[in-house]
Amino acid sequence: MKTLGYYNGKYGELEDMSIPMNDRVCWFGDGVYDAGPCRNYRIFALDEHIDRFFNSAGLLKIKMPVTKDELKKLLQEMVLKMDTGDLFVYYQVTRGTGPRAHIFTEGPSNLWISLTPAKLSDGTKPLKLITTEDTRFFHCNIKTLNLIPSVMAAQKAEEAGCDEAVFYRPGGRVTECAHSNVHIIQDGMLRTAPTDNLILPGIARAHLIRMCKKLGYTVNETPFTLEELFDAEEVIVTSSSKLCMHADMIDGRPVGGKQPEMMETIRKALLDEFYDATAE
């Protein structure tokens, strides 16, 4: 199949799938999601993504309709139905289906899955970024479906001819990007925001931290500011669909480019890890 969708046991091409209007996602965005890359029919870092998915659901008191092992088995079975093994694997759970009411709906939750062809970037092409004040709510650590602030920020970046938007809070603290985590290299050290309630604990972020430590680089998980972002030796953007990218422009100002050997060592090591984990 070219694409594949799943909704509570029903399968089909994505364009042929439909959902009930009373699914709570339609009224409230009441659900959580996770996603990641697949190569050669092997889903990368699946255990980590599933753990975060179940954690997000638990934080919103959503009862999962499957176990972790059942979901992993289902995802692997669906991947094998595809024409290509290079995919973006997306899954979400919504609280349930029922008449619109703010109080929780009784009954089972709804499981959605979508598979679409996608190839992971090798990270060699630099990104252009913009900054925008972070006006999102204070549960950024939950991978909720309520993504309107991120959608608006991503559109702002698109209209500025940029690839991503970097969020900052009043006072200048940098948090993350519209759909990525952002980090800096400063004095040969990786700086990345702590995993408090203001950022999503990215899986690619965790791999970046582990790899930097493995390579012998110091890692500092403390907040950094816009000023430090612009003065950084390198600016790194990570996500499950773009494991390790570097930025060369923010708000029209050149940034980074001062630690190219360190940047290339990290990028190559993370890409090799992905290739090894998804080898045939």
The residues carrying an active-site annotation are 143
Residue 129 corresponds to which tokens in the numbers above? 């970024």
CA 234 to chain centroid: 21
List, in sequence order, every beta strand (DSSP E) within 106-180.
110-117, 127-133, 164-168, 174-177
Q: Over 198-217, what HEC string results?
A: CCCCCHHHHHHHHHHHHCCC
Strands 219-220, 87-94: parallel, antiparallel or unpaired by DSSP? unpaired
CA distance 128 to 250: 6
What are the start-end ranges of the H helices in the chain?
Answer: 24-28, 46-59, 68-79, 148-159, 203-214, 226-231, 260-277
Report, in this order, helix, strand and coil percent for the chain, each rounded to 5: 30, 30, 40
**Which phi and psi (to 5°) does residue 16 adopt?**
-100, -5
How far the first Cα of the chain sits from its last, in Å, is 20
The residue among 114, 131, 120 whose CA lies nearest residue 34 is 114
Do the beta carbons of residue 112 and residue 14 sit within 8 Å? no
Structure tokens at 276: 């090894």
